[in-house]
């Protein structure tokens, strides 16, 4: 019997589920291996009977915790897809601000009508079995994780920083170009895609395990940058991870 899979989304842009839809012909091949029982973005109907749950988006309010717990209860495996679900993502930018004033800025006096708390990854609420990092996820990465899970293996996670891939790609270092980059401490696996496109690493895959802080400080000193520069960029995606450290 084909394993049953379901997709769910919380606070996010649905860009990761879009990457799944963007698999095009590979999606058809995947549909030959699994039975999709819930994917609100592309299908009508829903079932609570599923083996693998893919969850996109971060948890940003108390009322969503119950839904997450129910998903955990129903699924044998829970996979966090995308930065928001895996590390808290860009939503955690608001965690640095006073929540009442954030609500007021956006909704005025009606802000109190809306429930919201610090944005967090889903593993702050429920245990997670596998992660697909990135904002958005890389399609190949997603397929790799799905294949591993279908074969009953735990997908391996890259534990080195983006710098490693960037060097392999022979890019000119962003610091050498006078720009600030967080590839020194960000988990790789993206093939340094943003730097290849001429920009910088923004940190969307989150802090690598055991980031080499000393060498990062050396880089800052060498290029005349301050800890404030670093903290500013760290806030983009590392908010929840930094708060926990």
Q: What residues make contact with another protein under the rule CB under 8 A? A: 9-19, 21-22, 24-25, 28, 31, 36, 39-46, 57, 60-61, 64, 89-91, 93-94, 97, 101-103, 105-108, 110, 113-114, 116, 135-136, 172, 174, 177-179, 193-194, 196-199, 202, 232, 236
Do residues 105 and 178 touch, judged by C-beta distance below 8 A?
no
The C-alpha atoms of residue 16 and residue 19 are separated, in whole angstroms, by 5
Please say which residue, 46 or 76, places its beta carbon nearer to another protein.
46
Please say which residue, 113 or 151, places its beta carbon nearer to another protein.
113
Please say which residue, 74 or 212, places its beta carbon nearer to another protein.
74
Work out how close the CB of 153 gets to another protein at its nearest, in angstroms, rounded to a whole number: 27
Token digits for 18? 């879009």
Work out how close the CB of 144 gets to another protein at its nearest, in angstroms, rounded to a whole number: 19
Do residues 213 and 70 touch, judged by C-beta distance below 8 A?
no
Work out how close the CB of 53 gets to another protein at its nearest, in angstroms, rounded to a whole number: 16
Question: What is the b/e burial string over 197-236, where b = at least 16 CB atoms within 10 angstroms of the residue's CB?
Answer: eeebbbbbbbbbeebeeeeeeebbeebeeeeeebeebbbb
């Amino acid at each position: 019997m084909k394993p049953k899979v379901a997709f769910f989304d919380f606070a996010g842009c649905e860009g990761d589920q879009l990457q799944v839809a963007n698999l095009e012909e590979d999606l058809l091949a995947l549909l030959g291996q699994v039975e999709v029982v819930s994917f609100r973005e592309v299908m009508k109907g829903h079932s609570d009977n599923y083996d693998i749950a893919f969850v996109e988006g971060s948890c940003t309010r108390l009322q969503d915790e119950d839904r997450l717990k129910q998903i955990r209860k129903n699924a044998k495996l829970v996979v966090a897809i995308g930065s928001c679900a895996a590390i808290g993502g860009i939503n955690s930018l608001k965690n640095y601000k006073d929540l009442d004033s954030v609500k007021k800025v956006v909704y005025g006096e009606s802000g109190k009508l809306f429930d919201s708390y610090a944005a967090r990854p889903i593993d702050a609420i429920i245990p997670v079995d596998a992660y697909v990092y990135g904002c958005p996820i890389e399609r190949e990465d997603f397929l790799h994780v799905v294949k591993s899970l279908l074969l009953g293996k735990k997908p391996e996670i890259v534990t080195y920083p983006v710098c490693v891939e960037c060097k392999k790609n022979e890019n000119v270092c962003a610091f050498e170009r006078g720009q600030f980059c967080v590839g020194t401490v960000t988990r790789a696996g993206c093939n340094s895609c943003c730097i290849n496109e001429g920009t910088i690493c923004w940190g969307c895959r989150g802090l690598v395990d055991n980031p080499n802080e000393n060498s990062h400080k050396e880089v800052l000193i060498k290029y005349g940058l301050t800890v404030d520069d670093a903290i500013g960029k760290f806030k983009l995606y590392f908010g929840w991870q930094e708060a926990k450290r």
